[in-house]
Amino acid sequence: MIFLDYLIWSPDPVIFKIPLSFLGLPDRPIVWYGLLFAMGFIIGQQISYKIFKAEGHSEKDVDTLTTFMVIATIVGARLGHCLFYNPSYYLSDPIEILKIWEGGLASHGGALGIFVALWLYVNFDIRSKWIFIIPISFSVKKRKKEGQSYFWVLDRVAIVVAITGALIRIGNFMNSEMEGVKTGTDFGVVYARAAEEVLNFDDNVIEEVFFNEGIYNPKNPGYLPIKAVLVLKSGIEVDDSMKRFLKGQLAYSLNNYQEIIEHVDFTSSRRGLDYQIINESGVERIEIKATGILRYTPQLYEAIVCLIIAFILFSLWSYKRFVLNDGLIFSVFMVLLWGDRFFNEFLKMDQEAFEATLPINMGQILSIPMILIGLFVFLKTVRKKEEF
């Protein structure tokens, strides 16, 4: 719900569920993050078709390139998260690395995966045949792509990677992850999704959970008075048992779950929860007072920057590709993207506890070599081709 400069953000990460219960299987959720991730590759593929066609290359090359990109991004991002952010845990139990559905992807790992995949794409002819999801043949031949050097491909791929990056960051925002640090002002977002999930403690009791904002107090900058509203199902009343639950188990969960207390403070009363019960037309609702902590939205900042970078790169390709050495567009991409990532990390909460002991966080540490690679390639390719 938006009011002036702040937003109480608690969207359901699931868009809808594919009903499979009639087959005896659990319903399959379609989530915003997965959809936006996939859309990035779909949109990127369509743009790549136009780019490759304009330069006299086959659409089949784009299909092959997209396959390399998808596999490399997922594998690289997953391994990057596991090895960069929590290596001891994943190396002690490697099977956990495969549980990608539990979350955990690192963009730096995805970038490294793409570098390797594009090198393979340029230097080898890799073919396979499948029956459904079962590979029946696989062959690898060393063969360079005609008219497609490594840097030539990196230049073109950089454009679509920037667009995909924007959609992935929007997916992060829809998932209420990669949250920002406190703004300390009346501007920002209260990430209330985790609190809403705990407040919706019983589908047989709760009809709806939502948040209302109070009047912002400029004497308490960065903190927004809010109210969690639990609408009970028709015919359900708050009895002594539910009151004990509110004061006991629910209060404990709301005041001790780290993902909640970082964003919403329910400790405004010594009783545990400061709530009142309201009955309107025979339907009861529970209103719980709390304080929302206003934070930055670095996911959206990165998404906007990625779109700007994509525009810059596409413009360079459209108007300057004939006079630029291969690799220059890629170098601009690397400096702009990872430079933004470095500075944007100052607005993000740490992803892992160990980062609190570092002078800069892991995302910034990993961004530095990426920026240096971009600068190195830029210095090597900045000279224009001679016009004939």
Q: What would the two tokens of residue 377 be?
A: 């390639």
State the greatest distance between any 2 C-alpha atoms of the chain, in Å, as a whole number. Answer: 88
User: Per-residue confidence at 29, pLDDT binned at 50, 70, 90?
Assistant: confident
Please state whether beta strands 223-232 and 264-265 pair in parallel, antiparallel, or not at all (unpaired): unpaired
At 85 the pLDDT is 81
- pLDDT 10s digits, 268-320: 655 678 899 999 888 999 999 999 999 999 999 999 999 999 999 999 999 99
CB 190 within 8 A of CB 224: yes
| Digit-coded pLDDT (tens) for 87-111 | 888 888 888 887 776 667 788 888 8
| Planar angle of CA 8, 298, 83, nearest 5 degrees | 120
**179-237 per-position pLDDT tens digit:** 999 999 989 999 999 999 999 998 889 999 999 988 888 889 999 999 999 999 988 99
Least confident range from 20-34, 63-77, 353-367: namely: 20-34
* Full set of structural domains in the chain with CATH: 14-179+301-381 (no CATH), 191-293 (3.30.980)
pLDDT at 376 > cutoff 90: yes
Mean pLDDT, the chain, rounded, equals 88
Q: 317 with 330: CB under 8 angstroms?
A: no
Strands (E), the chain: 2-3, 6-9, 14-18, 28-31, 124-131, 134-142, 188-191, 206-213, 223-232, 264-265, 275-280, 283-293
In this prediction, residue 329 carries a pLDDT of: 96
Encode pLDDT of 78-92 as tens digits: 888 888 888 888 888
CA atoms within a 13 Å half-sphere pointing along the CA-CB vector of 266: 31
CA atoms of 148 and 125, how far apart (whole Å): 13
Rounded Cα gap, residues 81 and 113, in angstroms:
12
Question: Pick from 76, 71, 55, 80: which is nearest to 155 by CA?
Answer: 55
User: What pLDDT digit, counting tens, does each position of 136-146 carry?
Assistant: 666 777 888 88
3-state secondary structure of 199: helix
pLDDT at 155 over 50: yes
